[in-house]
Structure 1
Amino acid sequence: MQYSEWVVVKTNQAYLQYLSKALNISVPLAQVLVSRGLKDLDEIYSFLNPSIDLIDPFCIPGVYESTKIINEAILSGTKILINGDYDADGLTGTAILYDFLKKRGANVFYHIPHRIHHGYGLTHTSIEMAKKIGVKLIITVDCGIKDFDTIQYARQEGIGVIITDHHEPLRINEKVVLPEALAVINPKIDRNSPYAFLAGVGVAFILAMAIDQQQAMEYLDLVILGTYADMVPLNTINRAIIKEGWSLIENPYRKSIKILKEIAGINSNNIKNFHLSYCIIPRINAPGRIDYAGDVVKFFTSEDIEELSNIGQWLNQVNSLRQKTEEKIMVEIEKKLEEEFNDESVIVLSGNWHIGVVGTVASKLIERFGRPVFILSIDENKVKGSARAPQGFDLQELLLGCKDLLIRFGGHKQAAGVMLYKENLNEFKERICRLSDSLFADTKNILQLDAAVTLEEINEKIVDEIKLLEPFGEGNREPLFGAKELTVVNLRKVGNNHLKMFLRQNGNSISAIGFEMAEENILEGCLIDAAFTPSINEWEGMKNLQLQLKAIRRAQR
C-alpha cells in the first residue's frame, strides 16, 4: 500500500532522555510510548505493568442490577437462556456465561442464531425458543442493544431480558435510547468510560466477575480469544485481561484450546498474536460464517475427549471450506473492480455471494485500497452485507446519513453490517460516496510511525525492549520505526515476491527483508527511507538482527 504521508509525533528530546533514565529504557522506546499517548511516568508504568486487580465490574451501569436478577433466578430455579452472536466474540462470551452459571447451579440453556436462517441479534426465533423451553430470563451476549421490537415482544410474553453488548447504542440528538430491558450492560453508553473498548466477551466476563471474581478467572483464555477476534483496541482494561490470561493460551488447561493448537499446527508454547489471529480464531469464526455455530459453545464447555476431537476436526473442515469460498468470491471481486471501480472514495460491490464471508473479503480490500469497503450479497429483493473502514473513517456516521435507505444497520466505526432493498442500491452507493467526500475529505492514507531513529540506535536491546509492549494487537501494534536516507546494498529478490537487502547508514549496516515488496521501484545503491520493526532472525542455530520492512520509498530530504 502506498502512503500519502509518513508521520511521527515530535517530542522534546530532553523529556525523552528523562523518561529513558527514569524507566531504564532506550530513548527510541520512550518515543514509542509517548507516541501512543502515554505522557507521564505513572501512565507508562501502568501500561507496562497492567493489572486485572484495577478492574471494578460495578463501575459499569447495569452490572449491579443484573447480578441481583441472576442470583435470584438461580435461587428460584428460573430457566435462563443465554442468547449469543455467531461470531468468535459472541461464541466465547456465550460459552463463558453458560458454563459459569451452570457451575453455579443455574437452570441454564444457550441459543446461537443461524446467520442465514435467523439473522443477527436477538430475534423473534430466540423468543419462540425461550417460550418452548419455559425460559423466563434471557441474557444476551454481544447483541441486543438495538433489538427494541424483539425485547418488547419478550416482555409481552413474560420474559425478562438482560442485555450485555458492546455495539454502539442508538443515539438521537446525542441522547442514548435503550430497549426496555430489565438491565442493560453496555460500556459504550458512556463513550468516555475506561471500559468502552471491551469486546462483547469482555462485557460478559465483567458480569461474571461481578457475581464471583475468583470463578470468573477460569475463563480468561476464552476472553482473550473473543477479544482478539473482535479486533478491539488492546489498551487499558483489555491489555490487563490479556496479560493476566496469556499463560492459559500458551499452556492451556482447557482441552478445546489444546485441540485448537494441535489442528492449527502450533507446536510452540511461545504464542504470539499472529497465532491467534491467523491460525486459531479463523477456525472459531468459520462455522458462524458458513454453517451453524452452536457446537462451538459445546466445544468450549465439554470435557468429553471424543466429542471435542470430532468438533475440532469439523472446525478444521469448515475453515477450509470458508477459505475456498473466499477465494472464489475474490476472483469475482477482481473482475468487478476492473469493470465498476472508478477510484470512488468508497468501494461498494454487490453480487450473489455467501453472506457469511463478505466481511473478511471487505477486510482484505481495506488493506489494498485504504478506504471504506462495502461487500453486499443480493438475496431476491434485498441486499445485505458487511462494511469495513480504515482508521480515520466512521462507518456509523456514514450510515446515519443513509438511514432512510436502509432497513437495518449497526456495528462500530470500522466495522458494520447493513441491509437495504435492492431498488435503493444505486442511490445508496452514490450517497455514501458523497458523504465520505464531504465528511472525510481531509482523511489521508497516513503511515503513523512510532519513532524516528538512526540505524545506530537499532540493536538487540531494542528487540528485547519491544517485548515489554506485548501482547500486540489492535490499538497496540508492534512498534514501527522510521529511518531516513539509507543506502540499499546487496539487493536481491527472494521467494515469489520478496526483497532482501542490507541497509547502510553512517557506517552501520543491518539486514532487512520486505515481504511482498518485489515490485517496489528501488535499485542497488539508491537512497531510501524505510519503516520497519526490528527483530531477531533465527536460521540454522544463528541469530541475527533483521529489519522487517513495512514500507519503503525513495529518500525524501
Structure 2
Amino acid sequence: MQQIWNIQRQSLVDAYTLAKETGCSLLLAELLLARGIDNPEKAKLFLTEGGPYHLPQKLSGIKEAVARIIKAIVNEEKIVIYGDYDVDGITATALLVDLLERAGANVSYYLPERLIEGYGLNLEAISYLEENKTQLIITVDCGITSIEEAKVLKDIGIDLIITDHHTPLADLPEAIAIINPHLNDYPAPLCGAGVAYKLAQALSQEVPTQFQLTPRQIQLAALGTVADIVDLKDENRRIVKQGIFSMNKEPIPGIVALKEVANLNDRKIDASTIAFVLAPRVNATGRLGSADDGVKLFLSDTLIEAMPIAKKLDQMNVERRQIEDNILQEAILQAEEQLDHKAIVVAGENWHSGVIGIVASKLVDLYYRPTVVIELSDGECRGSCRSIENFNMYKALEATKEYLLKFGGHKMAAGLSVEKNNLEDFKRAFLNHADTQLTEKDLYPRVYIDTEVNIPIDLRLIEELSLLEPCGAGNPSPLFAMKEGLWENAYLVGANKKHLKFQLIKDNVRYDAIAFQMADRLQEFEKSLKLDFVFVPEVNEYMGKRSVSLNVKSLRKADKTWECSGEEQVWRFWSSLNDGELSYVAKSYLFGKKEIGLPALSLIHNMKILQKEH
C-alpha cells in the first residue's frame, strides 16, 4: 500500500536553545518542541513528573458529590457504583468500590451486560437496583446522556451522582452532581477512570483519615487511561507515569496475575504492555460475557484469589481472538469485492457484536478505507464504524441517517443500528457518500515522522529518549527516518514466518532491525541495495547483553524526492551569505518554516563544495 511520509521539522534555533537550557541532546529537544514543550520549566515537568497536577475542585460537581457521599456513609445508605463493561469502566468501578469499602461504606457495584443491556444506565437495571433498596447511584464512565433514566431515578427517590468523560448533550440529566471535564474546560482530557480518580482525591482531601488512597487507585487510573486511548497529555501523562511506576514497584494482585497468565515474567510494565497485553484480557470479559470478573480481579487482595480469575480472562481472550479472526476472514471476502469504492460496508449472520469494532479497525489497517461492520439479525442490526484521517465518520452517518434507526460517535469511530430491510439502501448511500467525499490521495495512509536521524544511534541515546515515556495516544513513541540505508542479510522469522529481520547499514554503522508483519516486503525489495526506513529505536536484551535494535514501521525504495535537509552546518553557512535565494531559504529552514522552496540539488552540491573551500 502506498504511503505518504510526512517529516516534521522544528526550528533548529529553538531546539538548540532548549537543549542548552535543559541540558538534553539536540534530538530530544526537537522531540520536545514537536510535543509543544517549548521552555525549560515545561520540559522539566514533562520529563520528571510527567505533567501538571490540577486540584479536583476544578471539576464540576466535585464539592456536591463529596458532601453527598460522606452523608451516605454516615447514614449507612446503600451505595451502588454503576460502571461500564470496558477496561475504563471496570477500573473506574473497582477504584471507587475499594476506596469506599475501606471508608466504611455499604457499597456494591453494577455493570450492565453488553449483549443484553447495552451501554449505560437502563430502566431494567434501575428497577433491579430499586428492589435492592439502593439509595445512591454513582455512575462511572457513563451517564452523561441518560436524561430519561435520571428522571426515573429522581421520581423513585434514588439520588444520582454522574461521573463521566463523554461529551454531554445540550440538555443535562438531573442529578445531585455531574462530574465531567467537558462541563468546565478541565485542562486534562480525562477518561472515566481518571474522573473517578479525581473524585477519590477530593474525598481523600476532605477526610484524609477515612478516605485513604493506596497503590490500587493510581494503578487502576493509569490502566484505564491507557486502555481508553485518551491523549497522554497534561495530567493524564502524570497519572499514567505514576501508575506505571507503582505497578513496577508494588503491583496489586490483579496486575501480578495478569502478568503471569501473559507470561511477562519479570518484564517491566510500560504503556505498550498495558495497551497490547493487559487491557485486551480485561476487555475480553466485557466483550464475551459479564464484566464483573474484571472488577473482581482488581478487587482481589491476594494472588491466590486473583489467579483463577486472570486465567479465566486469558482463556476468554483466546476465544475472543478466534471469534474475531473467523469474522475477519469472512469480512475480507466481502471487502475484496468493494475495492472499486472508497469505503467498505460488510455484514454477516452471527457476527459477535462484542468484536465487530476490532474487525472494523483491522479492515481499516488492511485497506485504509472508512469501514462499517454490521452484525445481521432479523430486526435491528448493530454496526461498528472506523474511519481514516480525511473522512468524518459522524458526518457520513448524519448524511445517511434516513436509513438508520440511530447512530452516535465522533470523527474516527461510531456505532449505528439499522433495520435489516434498510441495510442495502444504507450501504449504497454510504459508499456513494465516501466516493464523492474522498480522493484517491486520501486513500494513502500518512506516516508522521518526528525527524530524520543523521547521528549514530546508541544505547545512551535510547535511554535518553525513554524520558518521553509513557508513550501512546497524544504522545506517540518518536518515529525516526533514515534514508538511503543499505540493507543486508534479510530473512524471515517467527512461527509463521511473518516477520522480516535484517541488518541496516548507515554511515558505516551496522544495526539489527526487525519489521513485524512485513514478510511480503522481502520479495519486493530483495534486489534493492538502498532503502528508506521509518523506525523506533529499542534496546534488545539477550543473555545479559544489551544492544540497539531498530523496530521498523515502514520502508520503501530510496526516494530522491525527499526534502534535502543537508547537514546543519551547510544550512548555517548558507544563512551567513549576503541576502539572496540561498540565504532566505536557509534562514527559513533554521527557524522552522514548514514549507520552503528548495534550490536545485545540483546547486546544493556546489554549495557544499564551496563551503569546504571556505
> Structure 1 residue 543: deviation in Å?
3.1
Q: Distance in 1 between matches of 2:57 and 2:392?
A: 30
Tell me which amino acid in the other structure corresponds to 1:534. P
Question: Residue 108 of structure 2: SS of its match in structure 1?
Answer: strand
User: Counterpart in 2 of 1:63?
Assistant: 62
Cα gap change, 1:113/1:52 in structure 2, threshold over 3 Å: closer, same or farther? same
Q: Distance in 2 between matches of 1:102 and 1:355?
A: 34
CA contact (8 A) 2:456 2:509 kept: no
Q: Distance in 2 between matches of 1:98 and 1:539?
A: 42
Tell me which amino acid in the other structure corresponds to 2:278. I
Gaps of 5+ in 2: 561-614
Q: What does the per-residue CA deviation read over 1:352-401, in whole Å, with 9 as the maximum and x for residues that have no partner? A: 20111112222222322333322221222111132233455543344444
Q: What does the per-residue CA deviation read over 1:433-453, in whole Å, with 9 as the maximum and x for residues that have no partner? A: 455556666856211001112
User: Counterpart in 2 of 1:532?
Assistant: 535
User: Counterpart in 1 of 2:586?
Assistant: none
Question: Residue 537 of structure 1: SS of its match in structure 2?
Answer: strand
Cα gap change, 1:118/1:530 in structure 2, threshold over 3 Å: closer, same or farther? same
Q: Distance in 1 between matches of 2:383 and 2:180?
A: 24
TM superposition score normalised by structure 2: 0.83
User: Counterpart in 2 of 1:173?
Assistant: none
Tell me which amino acid in the other structure corresponds to 2:452. A
User: Counterpart in 1 of 2:500?
Assistant: 499
Question: Residue 213 of structure 2: SS of its match in structure 1?
Answer: helix
User: Counterpart in 2 of 1:182?
Assistant: 176
Aligned counterpart in structure 1 of residue 385 of structure 2, from 373, 384, 387: 387
Q: What does the per-residue CA deviation read over 1:235-277, in whole Å, with 9 as the maximum and x for residues that have no partner? A: 1111100111213322334222221111111111522333222
Question: Residue 473 of structure 1: SS of its match in structure 2?
Answer: coil
1:543 aligns with 2:546: yes
Q: Distance in 2 between matches of 1:255 and 1:507?
A: 48
Q: Where do 1:217-228 residues align within 5 Å?
A: 217-218=214-215, 219-228=217-226
Tell me which amino acid in the other structure corresponds to 1:154. L
Q: Distance in 2 between matches of 1:312 and 1:504?
A: 44
CA contact (8 A) 1:529 1:555 kept: yes
CA contact (8 A) 1:167 1:411 kept: no
Q: Distance in 2 between matches of 1:307 and 1:464?
A: 37
Cα gap change, 1:457/1:269 in structure 2, threshold over 3 Å: closer, same or farther? closer
Question: Residue 68 of structure 1: SS of its match in structure 2?
Answer: helix
Cα gap change, 1:143/1:408 in structure 2, threshold over 3 Å: closer, same or farther? farther
Tell me which amino acid in the other structure corresponds to 1:144. G
User: Counterpart in 2 of 1:421?
Assistant: 419
Cα gap change, 1:39/1:427 in structure 2, threshold over 3 Å: closer, same or farther? farther
Q: Distance in 2 between matches of 1:318 and 1:132?
A: 32
User: Counterpart in 1 of 2:80?
Assistant: 81
> Structure 1 residue 35: deviation in Å?
1.9
Greater shift in the superposed pair: 360-369 or 93-102? 360-369
1:349 aligns with 2:352: no
Tell me the number of residue pairs that the alignment of Structure 1 and Structure 2 aligns.
547
Cα gap change, 1:488/1:56 in structure 2, threshold over 3 Å: closer, same or farther? same
> Structure 1 residue 307: deviation in Å?
4.1
CA contact (8 A) 1:389 1:413 kept: yes
Tell me which amino acid in the other structure corresponds to 2:515. G
User: Counterpart in 1 of 2:274?
Assistant: 276
Question: Residue 177 of structure 1: SS of its match in structure 2?
Answer: coil
> Structure 1 residue 128: deviation in Å?
0.6
Tell me which amino acid in the other structure corresponds to 1:199. C
User: Counterpart in 2 of 1:374?
Assistant: 372
Q: What does the per-residue CA deviation read over 1:405-431, in whole Å, with 9 as the maximum and x for residues that have no partner? A: 443333454333322222332333344
Gaps of 5+ in 1: 171-175
Q: Distance in 1 between matches of 2:304 and 2:9?
A: 57
Greater shift in the superposed pair: 285-294 or 533-542? 533-542
1:199 aligns with 2:191: yes
1:212 aligns with 2:204: yes
Larger radius of gyration: 2
TM superposition score normalised by structure 1: 0.91
Cα gap change, 1:430/1:46 in structure 2, threshold over 3 Å: closer, same or farther? farther
Q: Where do 1:294-313 residues align within 5 Å?
A: 294-303=292-301, 306-313=304-311
Q: What does the per-residue CA deviation read over 1:502-552, in whole Å, with 9 as the maximum and x for residues that have no partner? A: 333343433322222232222355222111111222334443322211111
Tell me which amino acid in the other structure corresponds to 1:200. G
Q: Distance in 2 between matches of 1:399 and 1:187?
A: 27
Greater shift in the superposed pair: 316-325 or 442-451? 442-451
CA contact (8 A) 2:52 2:234 kept: no
Q: Where do 1:396-435 residues align within 5 Å?
A: 396-435=394-433
Q: Distance in 2 between matches of 1:68 and 1:242?
A: 28
Question: Residue 232 of structure 1: SS of its match in structure 2?
Answer: coil
Question: Residue 188 of structure 1: SS of its match in structure 2?
Answer: coil
CA contact (8 A) 2:80 2:110 kept: yes
CA contact (8 A) 1:28 1:457 kept: no
User: Counterpart in 2 of 1:320?
Assistant: 318
Tell me which amino acid in the other structure corresponds to 1:194. P
> Structure 1 residue 186: deviation in Å?
1.6
Cα gap change, 1:525/1:321 in structure 2, threshold over 3 Å: closer, same or farther? closer
User: Counterpart in 2 of 1:16?
Assistant: 15
Cα gap change, 1:410/1:246 in structure 2, threshold over 3 Å: closer, same or farther? same
Tell me which amino acid in the other structure corresponds to 1:193. Y
Q: Distance in 2 between matches of 1:240 and 1:367?
A: 31
> Structure 1 residue 232: deviation in Å?
1.2
> Structure 1 residue 86: deviation in Å?
0.8
RMSD (Å), alpha carbons: 2.4
Q: Distance in 1 between matches of 2:430 and 2:39?
A: 41
CA contact (8 A) 1:251 1:269 kept: no
Cα gap change, 1:216/1:546 in structure 2, threshold over 3 Å: closer, same or farther? same
CA contact (8 A) 1:490 1:524 kept: no
1:552 aligns with 2:555: yes
Q: Where do 1:105-144 residues align within 5 Å?
A: 105-144=104-143
Cα gap change, 1:71/1:392 in structure 2, threshold over 3 Å: closer, same or farther? farther
